[in-house]
């Protein structure tokens, strides 16, 4: 099979390419940058800006399957600070990628969406009901990032209906693991907490955004990749959740990281920082029906691998405690 993975320089795309190559596929990776922490395993790596239609045509030329992961995105701080540029960038990328896949006659097309499409009004308490796929409409998604993901889902479904493209639409719920951004402003909460814990002396305090009682479910990268491949094989063309349904608070997450690190730390809660919705969990009923499987790696297990990797990177780079690794990098 000839496969293209967009977002190949990013966290999930890089892991996906490793898995596809290990299964013997020919893979083209596409991104505006190469992976940060190790060399790509792609057979061919195209540096291209997918906001341009020509680049999307190059990306999809002579390809059977498209895994479209490229997106301008980051953690809650980044997506809250960049509504206009992020929405514009991703709308261009997603619209051009679909049209290019049609022109290039790709066999299958998988789009990676997000739990940020779900309405805020269903996520305003900690002890939330898990979100089912049909809950996304009527819409009230996350400002910017959630709206453009929801729009791209709809557009993907229109291409399926009108042009017969064999589509998949996967809604990720907080994917984490080694080889993801852990500094610079694009990191997400598990990696950010791993970094803060790794850099703190035992007994010291670390900053936690909000009161830490906001809840989420977190899915380890190996489970995410397994789920992606199974969903591609499933033939299911509509949106489907991919995440765990193990709901934990951010304070629980901090405790899991401290336990992986063998440190006792105090939490300094900063209530002025963005926190996203109050609670969010994945309902995996449809996932189990469609692929007969759901993510199973526990937060303790996944966080241990992730913490060891982040701590190793920080030690390798000899980062000093005074260095502001969390500083926001605003890319317009």
Ligand X SMILES: NC(=O)c1ccc[n+]([C@@H]2O[C@H](COP(=O)([O-])OP(=O)(O)OC[C@H]3O[C@@H](n4cnc5c(N)ncnc54)[C@H](O)[C@@H]3O)[C@@H](O)[C@H]2O)c1
H helices of the chain, in order, are 11-22, 53-60, 76-81, 83-103, 145-163, 189-199, 221-234, 250-261, 285-291, 299-317
Say if residues 110 and 121 touch (Cβ distance below 8 Å).
no
Cβ of residue 303: shortest distance to ligand X, in angstroms?
Answer: 14
Question: Which residue of the chain is nearest ligand X when measured via CB?
Answer: 10
Cis peptide before 117 (omega within 30 of 0): no
Cβ of residue 264: shortest distance to ligand X, in angstroms?
Answer: 28
Alpha carbons 156 and 152: distance in angstroms, whole number: 6
Residues with a known catalytic role: 145
Q: Tell me which residues in 150-189 interact with ligand X (CB under 6 A).
A: 172, 174-175, 186, 188
Contacts with ligand X: how many residues (CB under 6 A)? 26
Say if residues 128 and 248 touch (Cβ distance below 8 Å).
no
Of 88, 112, 153, 108, which is closest to residue 13 (Cα–Cα)?
112
| 11, 75, 242, 294, 305 from 222: Cα distances, Å | 12, 20, 12, 12, 11
Neighbours of 264 (CB within 10 A): 10
Cβ of residue 150: shortest distance to ligand X, in angstroms?
Answer: 12
Q: Which of 3, 71, 152, 254 is close enough to bind ligand X by CB under 6 A?
A: 71
Q: Which of 42, 63, 93, 110 is close enough to bind ligand X by CB under 6 A?
A: 93
Binding flags for ligand X, 32-61, as an x/- string (CB under 6 A):
xx---------------xxx----------
Cβ of residue 175: shortest distance to ligand X, in angstroms?
Answer: 4
Cβ of residue 189: shortest distance to ligand X, in angstroms?
Answer: 9
Q: Which of 20, 27, 70, 192 is close enough to bind ligand X by CB under 6 A?
A: 70
Alpha carbons 320 and 53: distance in angstroms, whole number: 43
Q: Which of 56, 69, 136, 240 is close enough to bind ligand X by CB under 6 A?
A: 69
Strand 215-217 and strand 247-249: the pairing is antiparallel
Residue 281 as a binder of ligand X (CB under 6 A): the answer is: no
Cβ of residue 203: shortest distance to ligand X, in angstroms?
Answer: 31
Say if residues 28 and 42 touch (Cβ distance below 8 Å).
yes
Considering the complex, state which of residue 31 and residue 245 has its C-beta at the smaller distance from ligand X. Answer: 31
Greatest Cα-to-Cα distance within the chain, rounded to the nearest angstrom: 60
Considering the complex, state which of residue 11 and residue 147 has its C-beta at the smaller distance from ligand X. Answer: 11
Residue 318 as a binder of ligand X (CB under 6 A): the answer is: no
Residue 254 as a binder of ligand X (CB under 6 A): the answer is: no
Say if residues 81 and 328 touch (Cβ distance below 8 Å).
yes
Contacting residues for 259 by C-beta, under 8 A, at least 6 apart: 300
Residue 313 as a binder of ligand X (CB under 6 A): the answer is: no
Q: Tell me which residues in 96-135 interact with ligand X (CB under 6 A).
A: 112, 114
Range in contact with ligand X (rule: CB under 6 A) among 25-33, 121-129, 309-317, 324-332: 25-33
Q: Which of 13, 185, 227, 276 is close enough to bind ligand X by CB under 6 A?
A: 13
* Torsion angles phi and psi, residue 240, rounded to 5: -145, 140
Considering the complex, state which of residue 85 and residue 234 has its C-beta at the smaller distance from ligand X. Answer: 85
Cβ of residue 166: shortest distance to ligand X, in angstroms?
Answer: 19
Neighbours of 138 (CB within 10 A): 7
Chain positions contacting ligand X, by CB under 6 A:
7, 9-13, 31-33, 49-51, 69-73, 89, 93, 112, 114, 172, 174-175, 186, 188
């Amino acid at each position: 099979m000839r496969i293209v993975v967009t977002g190949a320089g990013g966290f999930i795309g890089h892991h996906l390419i490793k898995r596809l190559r290990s299964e013997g596929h020919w893979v083209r990776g596409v991104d505006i940058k190469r992976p940060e922490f190790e060399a790509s395993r792609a057979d061919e790596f195209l540096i291209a800006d997918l906001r341009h239609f020509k680049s999307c045509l190059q990306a999809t030329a002579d390809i059977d399957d498209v895994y479209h992961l490229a997106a301008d995105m980051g953690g809650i701080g980044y997506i809250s600070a960049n509504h206009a540029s992020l929405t514009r960038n991703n709308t261009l990328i997603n619209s051009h990628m679909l049209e290019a896949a049609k022109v290039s006659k790709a066999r299958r097309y998988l789009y990676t969406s997000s739990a940020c499409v779900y309405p805020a009004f269903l996520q305003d308490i900690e002890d939330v009901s898990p979100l089912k796929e049909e809950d996304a409409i009527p819409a009230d998604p996350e400002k910017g990032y959630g709206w453009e993901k929801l729009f791209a889902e709809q557009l993907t479904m229109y291409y399926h209906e009108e042009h017969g493209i064999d589509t998949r639409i996967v809604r990720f719920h907080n994917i984490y693991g080694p080889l993801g951004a852990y500094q610079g402003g694009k990191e997400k909460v598990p990696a950010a907490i791993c970094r803060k814990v790794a850099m703190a002396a035992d007994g010291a305090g670390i900053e936690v955004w909000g009161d830490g009682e906001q809840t989420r479910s977190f899915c380890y990268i190996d489970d995410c990749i397994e789920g992606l491949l199974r969903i591609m094989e499933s033939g299911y063309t509509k949106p489907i959740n991919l995440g765990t349904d193990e709901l934990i608070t951010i304070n629980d997450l901090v405790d899991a990281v401290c336990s992986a690190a063998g440190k006792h730390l105090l939490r300094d809660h900063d209530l002025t920082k963005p926190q996203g919705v109050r609670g969010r969990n994945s309902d995996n009923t449809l996932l189990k029906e469609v692929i007969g499987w759901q993510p199973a790696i526990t937060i303790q297990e996944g966080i241990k691998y992730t913490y060891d990797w982040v701590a190793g990177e920080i030690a390798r780079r000899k980062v000093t405690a005074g260095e502001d690794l969390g500083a926001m990098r605003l890319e317009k």
